[in-house]
A = this chain, B = another copy of it.
């Protein structure tokens, strides 16, 4: 009573052994009549196989975990939307982990693979410490990492070069005649924060523009923090010299750009006439904002899909060499840099 029917219940009802029940249920060759009796009993009892018992025996759970910093981030959301159907089609369920970008949490998730509640893991670490890399390499289940990972780490990996992506956007701003290009970054101790910060400086040099630290502010990859960073930047520029001395704002992601947009507007600056704004990630929100935000697509959806496929492949072929899939960034030009007329 406490649990539902099991193969024992069915066996008793059908007057056969549990082995026969199992055989019928798994489509193994069985005498016609036995099949009938078993199926009839299973039907009447509303039998559903217990996946836990099945997993214990088969050593496979048909579950895959996805670990990211925060589901609220539209980038991860775009990935999930691609990952989920791929996994579902292959018969896997999706288990979600939010790590709040905490390395400890991420390492916990990796360790928990030893509990064997999933067959594999797709993860997006934001801070790649040595300890994390170790945890990845000793993980008890296949792992696919979305994002950069130290050269030579033996793990399936899907990445986009955000450095060249940021460069695309900067070149675009430069081509529009902008010369005082500010930069709002996320935490520099994260992989994307470090990469984009370095790319900003490198691109300035490549464009022959001076690097002026007063044009740079650091916050976090969210809208609110982006707005605060923009406020600090404007306040400092005002204190420094009066005139904004700023004709473009490169933002390390779209959420920051959206926050900056509000602040600029409130400060009476027109976008893009006074200050052109560009972001990264090309999330839905960027296209929906007003003005729509020029952004660098890092192929979130494609990366998610590729990661899922990579993991599925490894689940069937555990000992192939680690593979790295790379996507090219792509500039999506919208009104926040070129204005309305081109729409």
Contact = CB atoms under 8 A, between A and B. Distances in A.
A13 interface: no
Which of under 10, 10 to 19, 20 to 34, or 35 or more describes the interface residues of A? 35 or more
A53, A59, A115: most-surrounded residue (chain B CB, <10 A) = A115
Interface in A32-63: 46, 48-53, 55-56, 59, 61, 63
A288 interface: yes
Contact of A48 (B52, B140, B288): B140
B56 A52 contact: yes
A288 B115 contact: no
A56 B97 CA distance: 23
Interface stretch (A77-85, A173-181, A196-204, A231-239): A77-85
Interface string A70-94: 0110000100110011001000011
A285 interface: yes
A117 B77 contact: no
A291 B291 CA distance: 10
A116 interface: yes
A35 to B, nearest CB: 21
Contacts of A291: 290
Given A48-B115, A223-B288, 5 more contacts: A3-B116, A72-B77, A93-B97, A285-B285, A288-B288
Interface of A: 2-4, 46, 48-53, 55-56, 59, 61, 63, 71-72, 77, 80-81, 84-85, 88, 93-98, 111-112, 114-117, 140, 223, 258, 284-285, 288-291
11 contacts: A2-B59, A3-B59, A3-B116, A4-B140, A46-B114, A48-B115, A52-B56, A52-B61, A53-B56, A85-B98, A93-B95
